Amino acid sequence: MPSVSETAPVLAKETGGPAVRVEHVSVTYRTTFERMPTFKNALVRFGRGERAVKEVHAVRDVSFEIDHGTTIGIIGANGAGKSTLMRTIAGILPPTSGRIEVHGRVSTLLALGVGFNPALSGRENVVLGGLAAGLTRKEIQQRYEQIAEFAELGEFIDMPMRTYSSGMYSRLAFSVAVHMDPDILLVDEALSAGDAHFKQKAAAKMHELVGQARTMFLVSHALASIKDLCTDAIWLHNGQLMMRGKPGDVVDAYNRFLKVGEGAFTLEDL
């Protein structure tokens, strides 16, 4: 299968550099807090001399390097900037300052699910998502059977996605992300809706990917999974890099910081 995905990791490794290099990256975005930004509201605000645009400092001066083959866990409280950092590495959000270098094909499994249109069937969505991610029709066809099989959707794969349960949704999303043959996989709390059986299967698949010397970013509140899967960990707080080190050490420091024991996270896995 002479595809881009096979040549890419070789290319990236030959350069000898890290898989991902993040240099002094800050992400500040200006966004409106209106529920619906409308022209009418803009006029009203202009009349009152107000501004609705607020600045959010989501990530502040974060620097790190990740080598190929690393599985890195990213932990931190809600709103720490974990998802923003993932989006920046994926190239969806531009950094406000700093620089990010990514070597290899990136596949994302981000918190909001995959870009699925609920009116279309699972099959159509897989094709659309793959094309958007830059795969050719042929490459998608080659992967399609594996994706459908892994997601275990049966006949639902040809039904509109509005008929799916949230578990089926996340199973398909996970299956698409891991079968894109990524060099770098970004996973952001995407497995919360799968059942125990699928979680085991997903964890096994992730171990397999780790074994193939892929680079993986894993954002999770499931600290046990971070310790189990990752070889490296980063702790973000309020957009700042608090600590980088062995997963066990980082998780311990994070727990001490939160003043909670190990027990606080046992309800979740992955």
Q: What's the min distance (Å) between Cβ of 147 and another protein? A: 16
Residue 130: its H or E element: helix 122-132
The residue from 91, 154, 248, 261 that contacts another protein (CB under 8 A) is 91
Mark 120-139 with x for binding to another protein (rule: CB under 8 A) and - for no binding: x---x--xxx-xxxx-xx--
Residues in CB range of 234: below 8 A, 6 or more apart = 64, 72, 73, 74, 75, 241, 243, 244, 250
Q: Structure tokens of 189?
A: 């709390």
Contact status: 265 vs another protein (CB under 8 A):
no
Contact status: 154 vs another protein (CB under 8 A):
no
Residue range at the interface with another protein (CB under 8 A); choices 96-104, 202-210, 217-225, 235-243: 96-104
Contact status: 52 vs another protein (CB under 8 A):
no
Return the amino acid letter for 229. L
Contact 2, 136 (CB under 8 A): no
Torsion sign over Cα 109, 112, 113, 116: negative
CA dist 98 and 95 (Å) reads: 7
CB atoms closer than 10 angstroms to residue 259: 7
Contact status: 99 vs another protein (CB under 8 A):
yes
Residue range at the interface with another protein (CB under 8 A); choices 59-67, 85-93, 236-244, 259-267: 85-93
The residue from 5, 70, 175, 220 that contacts another protein (CB under 8 A) is 5
DSSP 261: -
Contact status: 69 vs another protein (CB under 8 A):
no
Between residues 100 and 203, which has the closer beta carbon with respect to another protein?
A: 100
The residue from 1, 2, 33, 36 that contacts another protein (CB under 8 A) is 36
Task: Give the residues across from 25 on adjacent strands.
Answer: 62
Q: What's the min distance (Å) between Cβ of 76 and another protein? A: 20
